[in-house]
């Protein structure tokens, strides 16, 4: 597992813990984020991702363990760390009473930038997120995707070294998501370190060099998307669906065909290196599915294996 | 703090015309109806004067203090809750080097500026009605601003603990309106039943109104100690309210 040396880490956490009263939101987690890396926190709702992000963003005090961000201690240098971060919160926090451009300018002022400099950067950033023609419009009528892009532009006004993105594309349509990913990828190419949370597996595969899966306040796995798939899933998955009533009578007939078999109410998943071979072998055993689908394993398979299929509210 | 203030001014630029026009309307209406209408009626029916002045002159400082109390209360509720709960811009501010107390103080200073504007407009209207007796009216405006702040700061502190606006109408109904009616705005508190009079001492608005009145009627020299007590009470509440707002903003932004 390629864990970078802690001296060069942009973020270094050991035993990091967050408690709210008797509730433990983050339970003694360890991780390191290297400069220039895109690092993801994956996990179901309530796994502790946002609490972790808020501790890194120095807006929520650490309850236990050690955390250093940009080589500083959030408990003592919160304001200094925040001045070098770009934060994209889960919910948009734009000022609807101001125009698109004014939102950027006033935000730059919060970082102590001169007005001229704020204006110059605002125009550059509007260009970058493709909102130049909306600069003088109010924020309210913008689409969800545009608001997100504006939020990202706003978080870049202080030219941060480290960006914290909490579910950056939740609720957006596919076009808007792809545009956002493209912009984030460009930032990464410029050397900006990205830390993001998501529960979209495709987002994690697209953006993250390395990620951790969180479940119930703990880190349950760590690695690159490919490493995680290799470790917790197989190369391919064969999905069998049957006519009503057939699946129940199949008990045991798949035995030995795959590395792992998962029985779901509506289908059977066979995890194996070669999916087509599994299909052929099952046919020889006289198993007749209604439909069969062979696909590559994804992070979603890893995620569901690690965090379970039961619904978490 | 200065940046937060700059933000509020930027927001205000969009609405200031309507807002300043609005602050003319209310005193004109009140002074016409209560001062000229009701005042003419009461003075016509008796030879009684109000602390040596006409009813209009007596009423104007009361309305000034009360108007700034109401403006202060309004500015301290929904805009604060909005920044914390609805558009959450205070959370965005807190992601920068700005501290929660900077956000609280910036908003309180902004409210003070708003009150100064409304109070100045009010003073000009009063002047136009010929209801000003003393040049000390220039001090009556800051006195009324202080009165407003004695309401604004505790309400800002309280608003930062709320997640919904449900209690705000209750504050108006059971707090602001009774004080508006019973704090010597429209009549001297000596007219109230004797058992009620000591309660007026508890009303920050009574302190404010009494202070404004002594300035606008030029009677402050009669009892300078009382005026000092008024200033002290109002300033003490405003400072305590500001410190409370620092605490509640800290808790809200750091805690959740």
Domain A6-230 adopts which CATH fold? Rossmann fold (3.40.50)
Cβ of A82 within 8 Å of Cβ of B253? The answer is: no
Distance from CA of A140 to the nearest CA of B (A): 11
* CA separation for the pair A152, A148 (Å, rounded): 6
Which residues in chain A are closer than 8 Å to B97, comparing Cβ atoms?
A: 79-80, 82-83, 110-112
Question: Chain A within 8 Å of B128 (Cβ-Cβ)?
Answer: no
User: Residue B26 pLDDT > 70, yes or no?
Assistant: yes
Q: So what's the pLDDT on residue B157?
A: 98
Residue B37 pLDDT class (50, 70, 90 cuts): confident
Question: Chain A within 8 Å of B8 (Cβ-Cβ)?
Answer: no
Q: How many residues does chain B have?
A: 256
In chain B, residues 48-87 whose CB comes closer than 8 Å to chain A: 87
| pLDDT single digits (tens) A67-83 | 999 999 999 999 999 99
* Among candidates B3, B99, B254 on the partner chain, residue whose Cβ is nearest the Cβ of A79: B99
Which residues in chain A are closer than 8 Å to B89, comparing Cβ atoms?
A: 93-95
* Pick from A69-83, A172-186, B109-123: least confident: A172-186
Distance from CA of B4 to the nearest CA of A (A): 8
Could you say which architecture CATH assigns to the domain A234-296?
Answer: 2-Layer Sandwich (3.30)
Cβ of A59 within 8 Å of Cβ of B93? The answer is: no
| Top-confidence residue, B100 or B50 | B100
DSSP, res A272: E
* CA separation for the pair A225, A43 (Å, rounded): 14
Q: So what's the pLDDT on residue A220?
A: 94
> Which residues pair with residue A219 across a beta bridge?
A214
Cβ of A79 within 8 Å of Cβ of B97? The answer is: yes
Q: Are A195 and A12 in contact (CB under 8 A)?
A: no
User: Residue A30 pLDDT > 70, yes or no?
Assistant: yes
Question: Chain A within 8 Å of B95 (Cβ-Cβ)?
Answer: yes
User: Residue A1 pLDDT > 50, yes or no?
Assistant: no
**Which residues belong to CATH 3.30.70.980 in chain A?**
234-296
* CA separation for the pair B139, B56 (Å, rounded): 19
Cβ of B96 within 8 Å of Cβ of A82? The answer is: yes
Q: So what's the pLDDT on residue B15?
A: 86
**Opening angle at CA A163, ends A143 and A24, nearest 5:** 95
| pLDDT single digits (tens) A237-262 | 999 999 988 888 887 788 888 999 99
* CA separation for the pair A95, B88 (Å, rounded): 8
Q: Are A43 and A299 in contact (CB under 8 A)?
A: no
Distance from CA of A39 to the nearest CA of B (A): 20
Question: Chain B within 8 Å of A227 (Cβ-Cβ)?
Answer: no
Residue B52 pLDDT class (50, 70, 90 cuts): confident
Q: So what's the pLDDT on residue A5?
A: 47
Query: Can you give the C-alpha Rg of chain B in angstroms?
Result: 19
Question: Chain B within 8 Å of A89 (Cβ-Cβ)?
Answer: yes
**Closest by Cα among B242, B15, B38 to A97:** B15
User: Residue B256 pLDDT > 70, yes or no?
Assistant: no
Distance from CA of A24 to the nearest CA of B (A): 14
């Amino acid at each position: 597992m390629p864990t970078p040396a802690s001296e060069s880490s942009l973020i270094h956490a050991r035993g990091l813990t967050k408690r709210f009263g008797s509730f433990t939101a983050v339970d003694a987690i360890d991780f390191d984020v290297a400069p220039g890396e895109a690092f993801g926190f994956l996990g179901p709702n309530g796994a502790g991702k946002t609490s972790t992000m808020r501790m890194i963003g120095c807006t929520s005090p650490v309850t236990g363990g050690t955390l250093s961000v940009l080589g500083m201690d959030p408990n003592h240098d919160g304001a200094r760390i925040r001045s070098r971060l770009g934060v994209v919160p889960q919910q948009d926090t734009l000022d609807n009473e101001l125009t698109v451009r004014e939102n950027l300018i006033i935000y730059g002022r919060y970082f102590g930038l001169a007005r001229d400099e704020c204006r110059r950067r605002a125009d550059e950033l509007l260009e970058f997120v493709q909102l130049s023609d909306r600069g003088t419009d109010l924020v309210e009528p913008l689409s969800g995707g545009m608001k997100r892009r504006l939020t990202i532009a706003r978080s870049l006004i202080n030219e941060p070294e480290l960006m914290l993105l909490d579910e950056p594309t939740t609720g957006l349509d596919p076009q808007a998501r792809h545009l956002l990913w493209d912009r984030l990828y460009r930032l990464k190419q410029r050397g900006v370190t990205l830390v993001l949370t998501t529960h979209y597996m495709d987002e994690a595969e697209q953006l993250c060099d390395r990620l951790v899966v969180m479940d119930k306040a703990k880190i349950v796995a760590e690695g690159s998307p490919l490493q995680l798939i290799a470790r917790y899933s197989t190369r391919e998955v064969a999905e069998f669906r049957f006519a009503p009533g057939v699946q129940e009578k199949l008990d045991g007939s798949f035995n030995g065909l795959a590395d792992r078999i998962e029985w779901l109410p509506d289908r059977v998943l066979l995890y194996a290196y070669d999916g087509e071979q599994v299909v052929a072998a099952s046919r020889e055993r006289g198993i007749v599915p209604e439909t069969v689908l062979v696909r590559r394993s994804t992070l979603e398979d890893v995620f569901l294996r690690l965090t379970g299929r039961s619904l978490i509210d | 703090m200065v940046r937060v203030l700059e933000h509020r001014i930027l927001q205000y630029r969009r609405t200031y015309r309507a807002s300043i026009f609005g602050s003319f309307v209310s005193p004109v209406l009140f002074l016409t109806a209560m001062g000229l209408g009701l005042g003419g009626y009461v003075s016509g029916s008796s030879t009684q004067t109000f602390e040596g002045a006409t009813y209009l002159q007596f009423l104007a400082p009361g309305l000034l203090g009360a108007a700034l109390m109401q403006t202060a209360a309004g500015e301290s509720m929904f805009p604060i809750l909005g920044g914390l709960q609805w558009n959450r811009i205070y959370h965005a501010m807190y992601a920068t080097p700005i501290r929660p107390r900077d956000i609280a103080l910036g908003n309180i200073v902004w409210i003070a500026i708003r009150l100064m504007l409304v109070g100045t407009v009010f003073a000009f209207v009063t002047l136009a009605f010929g209801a000003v007796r003393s040049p000390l009216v220039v001090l009556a405006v800051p006195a009324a601003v202080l009165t407003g702040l004695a309401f604004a700061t505790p309400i800002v502190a309280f608003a930062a603990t709320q997640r919904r606006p449900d209690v705000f109408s209750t504050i108006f109904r059971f707090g602001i309106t009774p004080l508006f009616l019973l704090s010597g705005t429209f009549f001297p508190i000596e007219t109230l039943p004797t058992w009620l009079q000591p309660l007026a001492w508890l009303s920050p608005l009574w302190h404010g109104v009494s202070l404004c009145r002594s300035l606008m009627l030029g009677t402050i020299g009669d009892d300078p100690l009382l005026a000092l007590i008024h200033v002290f009470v109002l300033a003490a509440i405003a400072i305590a309210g500001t410190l409370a707002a620092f605490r509640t903003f800290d808790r809200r932004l750091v805690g959740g």
